[in-house]
């Protein structure tokens, strides 16, 4: 995942920025794998109801 960002912009300014990118990218990847609409997952996260996969969801 970090490689994608590195190729696009040349890297991250801080370690904290890299961690945040990885966390968001992982959240969206998980949502996508569970057939959740990515935009809905983002909206729900900002609304305080983040997508949390359960074993029977997948």
- Please write the tens of the pLDDT for every residue from 2-47: 566 555 566 777 888 888 888 999 999 999 999 999 999 999 999 9
Measured distance CA(44)–CA(51) in Å, rounded: 7
Measured distance CA(31)–CA(18) in Å, rounded: 20
Measured distance CA(56)–CA(58) in Å, rounded: 6
The pLDDT value given to residue 21: 86
pTM equals 0.70
Per the model's pLDDT, the better-predicted residue between 53 and 36 turns out to be 36
The pLDDT value given to residue 2: 55
The pLDDT value given to residue 39: 96
- CA angle 12–21–33, rounded 5-degree value: 145
* Terminal C-alpha separation, the chain: 22
Delimit the domains of the chain by residue range: 2-46
């Amino acid at each position: 995942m970090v490689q994608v960002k590195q190729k696009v912009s040349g890297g991250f300014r801080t370690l904290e920025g890299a961690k945040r990118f990885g966390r968001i990218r992982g959240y969206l990847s998980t949502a996508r794998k569970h057939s959740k609409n990515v935009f809905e997952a983002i909206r729900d996260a900002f609304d305080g109801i983040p997508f949390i996969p359960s074993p029977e969801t997948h």
